């Protein structure tokens, strides 16, 4: 049986204030020390530079404070220097449902305490620029991911509750961890 893995997910880091808060928080927790309470830290960074996009400087800075995996969304492209480093980054993930040929990757498999963890990133389609169907990608690729690792974390940036309803109907049980980094979703309660 695998050892318990403690994962921290940090939602949308926005601009310098967000980066400073995260840096202070992770420092106070003892991240980057032997007392680190987490084994793996994931953060959404699509707005980490001046409130939109991610510069290479901020990419490096956030990695140095202990974040292991960066997820993103449609704003990842707002800082043009992203094209110069996204293909070489071993921790940055852009939404998987961008068309083939798009810079970067939509999922990565990380080794955490001897356990392989797949992190997948998808973008909802309501009120967004056209992207490929996340459901078709999940349906097509999930078996390959399951063969590589039993542990999966999926982040989905959503605009409407309808995206979530559709996902729950189409992809039940396809992941072990699920994060909705909701972008202003009006809830039905």
Question: 59 catalytic, yes or no?
Answer: no
Among the listed residues 74, 123, 78, the one whose alpha carbon sits nearest the alpha carbon of residue 96: 123
Q: Catalytic residue among 50, 59, 75, 107, which?
A: 75
Q: Give the whole-angstrom CA distance, residue 19 versus residue 151.
A: 28
Q: Which stretches within 111-184 are classed as H helix?
A: 134-148, 161-170
Q: Give the whole-angstrom CA distance, residue 51 versus residue 151.
A: 32
101: region left, alpha or beta (phi > 0 left; psi from -120 to 50 alpha)? left
Helix H or strand E segment including 28: helix 15-29
Q: Give the whole-angstrom CA distance, residue 31 versus residue 121.
A: 24
Report strand pairing: 69-71 vs 107-112.
unpaired
Q: Give the whole-angstrom CA distance, residue 121 versus residue 42.
A: 11
Report strand pairing: 151-157 vs 177-180.
parallel
Query: What amino acid positions are annotated as catalytic residues?
Result: 75
């Amino acid at each position: 049986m695998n050892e318990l893995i403690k994962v921290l997910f940090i939602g949308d880091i926005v601009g310098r204030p967000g980066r400073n808060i995260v840096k202070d928080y992770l420092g106070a927790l003892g991240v980057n020390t032997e007392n680190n309470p987490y084994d793996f830290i994931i953060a959404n960074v699509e707005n980490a530079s001046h409130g939109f996009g991610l510069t290479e400087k901020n990419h490096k800075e956030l990695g140095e404070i202990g974040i292991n995996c960066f997820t993103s969304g449609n704003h990842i492209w707002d800082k043009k220097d992203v094209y110069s480093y996204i293909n070489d980054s071993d921790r940055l993930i852009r939404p998987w449902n961008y068309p083939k040929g798009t810079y970067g990757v939509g999922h990565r498999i990380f080794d955490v305490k001897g356990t392989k963890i797949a992190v997948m990133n998808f973008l909802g389609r309501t009120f967004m620029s056209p992207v490929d169907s996340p459901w078709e990608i999940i349906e097509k690729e999930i078996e390959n991911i399951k063969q590589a690792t039993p542990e999966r974390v999926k982040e989905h940036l959503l605009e409407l509750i309808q995206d979530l309803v559709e996902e729950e109907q189409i992809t039940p049980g396809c992941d072990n961890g699920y994060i909705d980094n909701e972008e202003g979703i009006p809830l039905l309660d």
